[in-house]
Amino acid sequence: MKTPTSLVRRTAWPTSTSAPVVTPLQPSVVYASPDPDALDAQYDDASGFTYAREGHPNAEVLAAKIDMLEGAQGGFITGSGMSAISAMFLGLLKAGDHVVGGDQLYGRTLRMMTQDLPRLGITTSLADPTDAAAIVAAIRPETRLVLVEVISNPTIRLADMEGIIAVCREKGVLLAVDNTFTTPRMYQPLTAGADIVIHSVTKLLAGHSDATLGYIAARDPDLTSAMMAANVTWGLTPSPFDCWLAERGLHSFDLRFDRAEDNARKLAQALSDMPGIARVIYPGSASHLDHNRAQALFGARAGNMLSFELTGGREAANAFTRSASQIAFAPTLGDVGTTLSHPASSSHRALTPDARTAMGISEGFFRVSVGIEDADMLIAEIDIAAQAAARA
Ligand SMILES: *Cc1c(COP(=O)(O)O)cnc(C)c1O
């Protein structure tokens, strides 16, 4: 029997007067045009879609929602948080330029700054973002951009955002803010005066640890165009399915964030009374080193991220994670469930013990991304783990 060749012709989508309430998922890689004139016209005014690497509806829908949260315009979605940072560097910098970064940036960002950009002839310096004077001291005549995170990982210190914004304005240097930990619910970099805002959408915005995506927006549309061109050319494009998942996750972002923050506040309080806990680091606690800055930057908000230190060392840390087996011991953040990370064995394992000690990261140091589970249950689990660690 002859195979009917009509199978490869796409059937027209069934019409319906009633429309779906859910954003459709559009995985099409390519879009067909009526004729060359129409295609030409579409390229001329950069409207619609032609090829998914250049843009697709699910990315556009998601970007528009994050734009709304960030008070941004024309932001776009990238294949990961690191892609967003790559699109920024590749789109805005050239050999001979210099970049200043916070000295406790996300691990891969630090690697990009210290190893990859120098290979491309772009020099970099790291400086302490809790002190705007340290940032200004690192700025050179050829400095084009400063990149900071508002909350440092994993020591949860706060950048001197007001000082850094003023310094970058004065020096005519672009300021990019990775707003992943803070999210627009706590802090809006563009509104505060930064030039560029970046997200690992993978984390709190998507919120379910099932999509890897990034977002970036600039105040100046020319910068956005340059970064978007890099995103398309270097192939940093996101998957439609991930964008679809992230949009669904975003529907509950504000509710999740508020619940997680509320849980974090309760957990920080409870931790300080548990056995074998040397210190708790949470910006919402009056004892936090940057508590006044937290209030100035975030008002009553303090986020879902906290760190704590056990009085014991690695043995205590092992006992803690084994006992807290219901809490994922996994190097991520922003999931609906609480996750625990241990910098000495993961993000900061390449450092010498002395270098870690200088940063305040001991073998008993944990970072917690607090989730939205029942607070009493979470506190009870952590309490049992703290007791196990204290016995170890
Ligand atoms: C996770 C993370 C990134 C990288 O994002 P990916 O989506 O994993 O590529 C960048 N910055 C911060 C602060 C992060 O937490």
Q: With residue 264 as reference, give the H or E element that holds it.
A: helix 253-271
178 among known catalytic residues: yes
Please tell me the distance between residue 251's alpha carbon and the centre of ligand 1 in angstroms: 21
- Beta-carbon contacts of 385 under 8 Å, excluding residues fewer than 6 positions away, are 319, 320, 321, 323, 324, 327
Q: Which of helix, strand or coil describes residue 369? A: strand
Q: Residue 387 pLDDT more than 80?
A: yes
Substitution site in 108, 200, 215 for ligand 1 pocket (most atoms within 8 Å of beta carbon): 200
| Mean pLDDT rounded to a whole number for the chain | 96
Amino acid at 310: L
Task: Report d(CA 144, CA 59) in Å as an integer.
Answer: 29
Picking from 366, 352, 350, the residue whose alpha carbon sits closest to that of residue 114 is 350
Task: Report d(CA 332, CA 320) in Å as an integer.
Answer: 18
Q: Which domains does the chain have, with CATH numbers?
A: 36-250 (3.40.640.10), 253-391 (3.90.1150.10)
Amino acid at 373: E
Q: Residue 350 pLDDT more than 90?
A: no
Output the six-digit token pair for 36.
């060359």
53 among known catalytic residues: yes
43 among known catalytic residues: no
Q: Residue 187 pLDDT more than 90?
A: yes
Write the pLDDT tens digit of every residue in 43-98: 888 889 999 999 999 999 999 999 999 999 999 999 999 999 999 999 999 999 99
* Residue 200 contacts residue 179 (beta carbons within 8 Å): no
Please tell me the distance between residue 388's alpha carbon and the centre of ligand 1 in angstroms: 32
203 among known catalytic residues: yes
Q: With residue 308 as reference, give the H or E element that holds it.
A: strand 305-310
Q: Residue 2 pLDDT more than 80?
A: no
Task: Report d(CA 284, CA 44) in Å as an integer.
Answer: 51
Task: Report d(CA 50, CA 135) in Å as an integer.
Answer: 43
In angstroms, what is the C-alpha Rg of the chain? 23
For Cα atoms 195, 199, 205, give the angle at the middle one, nearest 5 degrees: 135
- From the list 97, 178, 290, 335, the catalytic residue is 178
- The confidence score (pLDDT) of residue 207 equals 98
**Given CA atoms 280, 286, 287, 289 in this order, what sign does their dihedral have?**
positive
* pLDDT tier at 3, thresholds 50, 70, 90: low
* pLDDT tier at 28, thresholds 50, 70, 90: very high
- From the list 185, 203, 301, 367, the catalytic residue is 203
Task: Report d(CA 9, CA 376) in Å as an integer.
Answer: 57
Place of tokens 């004065």: 170
- From the list 106, 187, 215, 282, the catalytic residue is 106
Note the residue count of the chain.
Answer: 392
Picking from 133, 113, 224, 106, the residue whose alpha carbon sits closest to that of residue 174 is 224
**Bridging pattern class, strands 196-200 and 214-218:** antiparallel
Number of helices (H), then strands (E), in the chain: 16, 12
Q: Residue 1 pLDDT more than 80?
A: no
- The confidence score (pLDDT) of residue 6 equals 79
- The confidence score (pLDDT) of residue 9 equals 85
* Residue 149 contacts residue 106 (beta carbons within 8 Å): yes
Q: Residue 246 pLDDT more than 70?
A: yes
Please tell me the distance between residue 15's alpha carbon and the centre of ligand 1 in angstroms: 41
Phi/psi of residue 195, each to 5°? -95, -30
Place of tokens 């691990």: 107
- From the list 31, 53, 262, 266, the catalytic residue is 53
Q: Residue 233 pLDDT more than 80?
A: yes
Question: What percentage of the chain reaches a pLDDT higher than 90?
Answer: 92
- The confidence score (pLDDT) of residue 4 equals 66
* Residue 185 contacts residue 139 (beta carbons within 8 Å): no
Using CA positions, which residue lies closest to atom 8 of ligand 1? 81
What's the whole-number mean pLDDT along residues 165-182?
98
Strand order in the sheet with 76-78: 76-78, 214-218, 196-200, 174-178, 143-149, 98-102, 123-127
- The confidence score (pLDDT) of residue 10 equals 84
Please tell me the distance between residue 392's alpha carbon and the centre of ligand 1 in angstroms: 33
- The confidence score (pLDDT) of residue 205 equals 98
Cβ neighbours of 10 (radius 10 Å): 8
Task: Report d(CA 75, CA 216) in Å as an integer.
Answer: 5
What's the whole-number mean pLDDT along residues 18-27?
96
* pLDDT tier at 129, thresholds 50, 70, 90: very high
Cis bond before residue 154 (omega within 30° of 0): yes
Write the pLDDT tens digit of every residue in 276-317: 999 999 999 999 999 999 999 999 999 999 999 999 999 999
Q: Residue 188 pLDDT more than 80?
A: yes
